[in-house]
Structure formats: C-alpha cells, structure tokens
Chains A and B, each alone.
Chain A
Amino acid sequence: MQLGATSLPDVPAETLAGLCPPRLTSEKIQERLSYIIEKDRIAGDLPRRFLEVFAAILQHTNYRQVIDNYARIPARCANCSCACQIYQRTNAPEDVPCYRSDLLLEVYRRHFTLRGIVEEHLRITPLLTDEYILEMAETYYHCTACRRCTLECPLGIDHGLVTHLARYVLSEIGLVPRALVISTRAQLEGPTRNTSAIPWPAIADSLEFLEEEIFDDKSIKVKFPIDKPDREFIFFAPVSDYLMEAETLMGIAVTLDAIGLGDAWTISSEFLDGINYGLFYSDWILERCLREEVDQAKRLRSQKILIGECGHASRSAKAFVKTFGGGRDAPPVVNIMELTHRAFKEGKIKFDPDVVTERVTYHDPCNLARSGWIVDQPRELIRAFCKDFVEMTPGGKWNLCCGGGGGTVSVDELRPYRTHVVGSKKAEQIAATGAHYVIAPCANCKKQLREVCQDNGLTDVEVVGLHDLIYKAIVLD
C-alpha cells in the first residue's frame, strides 16, 4: 500500500510530445496565475518536483494515514457540495469539495499506492502534468479552507485539511501567492518582524497616540504595557490592529484596564504580530511563527498567550502552541473575547445600552466558530450593550465564510472572485439582516467584509470589531 514516490515513466521526450500537453513556460504560468510567487522559482520539471515534495512531506508528517484513508473511502455522495458556498454559487463541477480534494488524492493513489503505480505505468500519458498542477494551484486557492463542508461529510473527510496539505506541497515547489510569502518573509526574516513591515518606532508612536486618544475619549489614563516581564498574559494581535484597526486595540486596552487586568498583560516589542499564514499553506511557517510567540512568552516570563481579535491567529495558537511549544508544558492560549466574556459574567464590566442604537449583526469567523469554540461568548456580550441584535442565518458553527478565508483575503488579484463568487452569499446574508454594524472579530474577515459590502452595493454597512463597540459602550467608573 504505502511505497515511496515513483517518478514519471521514463519515456523519451519525442514520444511524449504528441501525447502530452506541452510543458508550460513560467511566463504562461504567470499569465494564468498572476498572483503566484516569483517567476524564477517555478522553472523546471514541475511534476517531478511536486512528487519529490509530496513524498518528503508524507515521510516526515502525519498526513499519510489520513490521506490514505481519504483516498480509499469517498462515497462521492455530494453532501459536501450542499455545504460549500462556492459550489452553491457557481454550480461548477470543479467546485464540488470532493472533486477538489480528489485532485490531490488521485496523485496519492497514482504514485503512492501499489495499484496506482501499476496503473500509472500502464498508461502512456501521465496523470500529473504542468496543467494538472496549475489546476491545483488555482483551485486550492479558491477554496477558503473554511471547513463548512466537513460538517456534512458522512465519512468525516476534512477538505480543509486536504486544501492545507495541497497548498503545503505547492508552496514547496514555489507555487504560492506572492502576498503571503512577502508578508511571512517580513515577519520571520525581515528587520521589522511583522507582516506589514512596519518598524517598531512607528508602532511605538502609534501606541502613544492611541493612549492620548483614549484619554480624550474616556478621560482615563491607559498605558499600553511594552516588554513588561512576569505578566500573566503576553498579547499578540494582527499587526494591522496597531495602525489601521486601532479602535479594536483601544477597546481591548480599555477593557483589560476596566476588568483589573491592566497590569496583567504585555506586548512584546520584538515580536507582536499574531498573524500566522503558515496555517494556510505551510507547516514549516506555522511552526516558526508559533515558536516566535512561545519564545517571547519565555523571554518575558508570561504564563499565558493572549490573542486579539483574529480568527486564524487564535486558531493557530490554540491548536498548535501545544504541538510546537512543548506539549503539556506549553503556555495556555486564550482569545480576548473569552477573557472579556468571563469578566462580564463575573460582573466586572458594565455597559451603557443607549450608546450603540443601530442594528447590529455578528459574523462568525470560521476559525473561531467551526469547532464550536467561540460562538456564544461574543453574542452574550453584544446582547448586553445592544438592543437591536439580529442573527445571520445560518450562523454559529454553521456560519458562512466571509469569502476571504485561508489567506485569500491578502491576495488582491483574487478580489473579484472573493467578493462576487465566494462572498456573494455573505453579502445576501448581511443585506437580509438590515444591520448597520457587522461585528467581525477578525482582521481578515473585516478586510474581506468591507470589500464584499463595497462590491455588492451595501453602502450603509459598517464593519467593525467586537471591542470597537465595547469601547463605545463600556461604562468606566
């Protein structure tokens, strides 16, 4: 059953010429997938390299047992297609989740199972061609890895996992959106240590400015704690919160202050960006980002990792800090909404219900809600300060993805696809609520939902974070 990768049959190029689709030049690839990484990285024999990488990954990871299972059992019942908002919108066969996953599974069958290898050698044309690989590169970045379809598969096939693995293999042969690589490079290897490449002095300035803002708005002195040792929480938020989404950060600082945790948290000036694109395309990156977080926690002797309003940053830390941060000894991971919610239950926060009078709805980030982790907490908080709260349907665990999940929101070239295809159901959902505020406690979702609203003519909608509104409604004594 489980053998090493075979290379493609050694047939002379001339014999193949008439049978195979022609080799694609890197210019052709660029033309088709303009958002894919630098040209010079994708020269050479793509199929051969794809198989080498696939083999190496199967050897060193835990994917083999699950991929082998998936390759053998699919019922092809199409239950998953009913759950996927892309297929529901396009009705295109290539958007059926099971079809998409089968692209990778078929490569596995053909090259890593005994029967497949025999089959592959009996054919003249190979399965894996440049064209086939490009199809994968395209389609695995159409799927947002929202994992809604997984809830519907009777056999428990997790298409989010297959998408993750496929992207991992593709990324190691250089097929990965440029936007993700450039951000990650800045975060892990650049001088600024964050995905937006903002130098620390600029961030420090911004924090000082926010402190003044808070004083102007609320007449209280709140300090952003920087590099304070021995605090309970070390805080990571997407770097955009420090500049573009500052209201969220101000809300968080004020809330922590109000619940008596003002001296219990710290930001690290060395590494403060919670973004982890590794969750979307590479285990290697995932591990490196999380090790940075754990190292900072160690450096400042913080006991817990606190993640701001961000779906993928929260899930990657929650699910993988244990994996890469020392198993049971790893620091626990908490999301800010959990903390605020707990304080609210303990009666430590009071809200003025007359501040936010507009209608509010809540968007569940897939990475928080799909597993049922954070669903009710934000709703309880919202209900406490807002009289006109309307749910989107479906919501909670069954939410629809904003349309920019899986890192695709960072890829500007995909915007029309994100807003008109993947996000169109979301636009309908939002319009149906008639809400003015859409709360989306996630930097990615916020960016995407703003674009969805713009491109779908929802001009009255304002997309905000949860702590943005808490900032408005909180009562400080």
Chain B
Amino acid sequence: MLESWIALARGPLLRLALFAMALGLLRHVLLQVWEIFWALRRAGDQVVPWGLALRRNLEWLLPWRYLQRKERRLYNFTSFIFHVGVIVVPVFLAGHVAIWQQELGISWWRLPGSVADWLAVATVVAAVGLLLGRMLNQASRTISKPQDWLLPLLCAVPFVTGFWVAHPSWSPLGLQAVYLVHLLSAELLILLVPFSKLVHMVLFWTSQTSSELGWRFPPGSGERVRLSLGKDSEGV
C-alpha cells in the first residue's frame, strides 16, 4: 500500500511539483524582466548602476557583512547556515543526484554522506534558531505573518525525515512511512515556492535593480497622473 504511494510521490507527484514550480518561477521572472525593461524604456534617466545593484546583492549573500555588526548577528548568521543547507542538500545529496540523473539524465558533484548528515542537522537547528530569533525579537515577532512562522517549520520536515531515511535506526517510524512524509513535505514546499515569500529565490536578484529603477521617473508622469484623475486644471 505505502509502496504504491511512494512510487506515486517519487514519480508523477515530484515531476508535477517541479514543473509547477518551474512554471511559476518562470512567470515571475518574465514579468519582472518585462517590467524592468519597460521601466527602463520610460525612464527619463536611463543610467542605472547595474554593477552596484549586483554588488549589493552579492554582499548580502555572504555573511561577512552582518558578522561585522552586533545587532541580530546570530540571527543573520543562522539564516546564512539555513540558506546554505536548504540549497546544498536538496541539490547535491548523493541520493538526490541519483534522482536528478534518472529524471533529467544529467548528473553532477555529490555531497559526501557525512557532510550531508551534518549539514542536514545544522539546517534543522538553524530552522529552529530562526523561529526562536523571530519569537524573541519584538520587532520581528510583531511584523511576522503566518507564512513567516510556518515556512521554517515546513522546511525542517524534509530534513528531519531525510535524515531518518538515511539513518533508519534513529527513526521512530517505519522507513516507508518516513520516506513518504519526506517526499510529500518536500513536494509541498516546492509547490509553494511561487506562491509564498520563497519566491525571493528568483526575485531577490532583481530587487536592488528594481529599487534603483523605482527612483528613475518617467518625465511627464506627474502630469499624466493628474490628467487621468481629471485634476489637470487644479493647482498645487
């Protein structure tokens, strides 16, 4: 019984989830690129510091920037570890690479098993740490929305269950049940990417550029806004 569920989750469901994610992300990227293209066309000043925007993005990807200051240092570092974990493990774990090879026909470098184990543990710890950091900081706690609490928890599930799949002796449940939970939780996450803040995995890259372009106004736009509001004859 469980076996057929696993087969379903491992095959068609996984493909469906990945396909939906790819499609959703593609839509976001295309719309973003399209909007940026038009914004640039309309802008009166078309000089955009692309390099600076890119550099700022890269700066935030590496931890040294926030290691230098004391506020929320631990939180930001935890976040760094978490991000490394959620990117590296799914993509480079040996077992996953085997699936990619089977599905896509391409293969790449595999993460050594022991490193993967430690990274998985670190990711789970980091997920809990992120929740604590959110809970214990008044500002962060009060601005958080449901997805901010649920997503780290949901991210931890495939890691915990994945660890148990690799080390069944640690697992409180049967291997098959754990494996099924592993697959389904991962697929749910993948599916949620385009619809939640996880979409920052693609939109992050353009946010600095978007900000710069936001400050590039189209000449005459103020006048056109007034016109379309029927206020063209009104004064200041």
Contact = CB atoms under 8 A, between A and B. Distances in A.
Interface of A: 1-2, 52-53, 56-57, 59-70, 72-79, 81-82, 87, 91, 93, 96, 98-99, 102, 115, 150, 154-158, 161, 172, 181, 184-185, 188-189, 282-288, 319-320, 322-324, 327
B144 A157 contact: no
28 contacts: A52-B229, A57-B225, A60-B225, A61-B218, A62-B42, A62-B213, A62-B217, A65-B32, A66-B210, A70-B210, A72-B199, A73-B200, A73-B204, A73-B207, A74-B197, A77-B76, A78-B139, A78-B143, A93-B143, A98-B143, A156-B60, A156-B208, A172-B229, A188-B236, A189-B235, A284-B223, A287-B222, A288-B222
Contacts of B213: 62, 65-66
Contacts of A65: 32, 35-36, 38-39, 210, 213-214
B64 interface: no
A214 to B, nearest CB: 36
A243 B137 CA distance: 49
Contacts of B109: none
Contacts of A157: 207, 211
Tell me which of A63, A68, A77 has the highest count of chain B C-beta atoms within 10 A of its own C-beta: A77
Given A69-B207, A91-B138, A60 B218 contact: yes
Interface string B215-232: 111111111111011010
A228 B208 CA distance: 43
A93 B142 contact: yes
A386 to B, nearest CB: 30
Given A156-B207, A286-B222, A323-B44, A66 B199 contact: no
A461 B76 CA distance: 40
A59 B219 CA distance: 14
A27 B236 CA distance: 22
B76 to A, nearest CB: 7
A166 to B, nearest CB: 13
Contact of B142 (A66, A99, A158): A99
B103 interface: no
Contacts of B56: 156
B107 interface: no
Ranked nearest first, the 6 interchain pairs of A and B with the lowest CB-CB distance are: A284-B222, A65-B35, A78-B140, A323-B44, A66-B214, A81-B139
Contacts of B3: none
Nearest to A115: B195
Contacts of A284: 222-223, 225-226
A57 B226 CA distance: 9
B46 interface: yes
A322 B229 contact: no
Nearest to B195: A115
B221 A61 contact: yes
B185 interface: no
A383 B231 CA distance: 52
Contacts of A287: 217, 219-223
Contacts of A93: 138-139, 142-143
A454 to B, nearest CB: 31
A185 B235 contact: yes
A96 B143 contact: yes
Contact of A62 (B47, B75, B208, B216): B216
A181 B208 contact: no
Interface string B59-85: 010000010010110011001000000
Interface string B76-115: 1001000000000000000000000000000000000000
A161 B211 contact: yes
Contacts of B221: 60-61, 283, 287
A66 B43 CA distance: 14
Nearest to B147: A76
Interface of B: 27-28, 31-32, 35-36, 38-39, 42-47, 53, 56-57, 60, 66, 69, 71-72, 75-76, 79, 134, 137-140, 142-145, 148, 195, 197, 199-200, 203-204, 206-208, 210-211, 213-226, 228-229, 231, 235-236
A361 to B, nearest CB: 23
A307 to B, nearest CB: 17
A87 B218 CA distance: 34
Contacts of B216: 62, 323
A73 B197 contact: yes
Contacts of A74: 197
B143 to A, nearest CB: 5
A2 B217 contact: no
B133 to A, nearest CB: 8
A5 to B, nearest CB: 12
Contacts of A64: 35
A98 B143 CA distance: 7
Contacts of A72: 28, 197, 199-200, 203
A22 B12 CA distance: 53
A70 B213 CA distance: 13
Contacts of A288: 222
A155 B45 contact: no
Nearest to B219: A324
A278 to B, nearest CB: 8
Given A60-B225, A287-B219, 19 more contacts: A52-B229, A53-B229, A60-B221, A60-B228, A68-B32, A69-B207, A70-B207, A72-B197, A73-B203, A73-B204, A76-B144, A78-B140, A156-B53, A285-B236, A286-B222, A287-B221, A320-B45, A324-B217, A327-B45
Nearest to B44: A323
Nearest to B36: A65
Best-surrounded residue of A1, A78, A150, A288 (most CB of chain B within 10 A): A78
Nearest to A172: B229
Nearest to B213: A62
Counting chain B CB atoms within 10 Å of each CB, which of A52, A59, A87, A158 scores highest? Answer: A158
B47 A322 contact: yes
Nearest to A181: B236
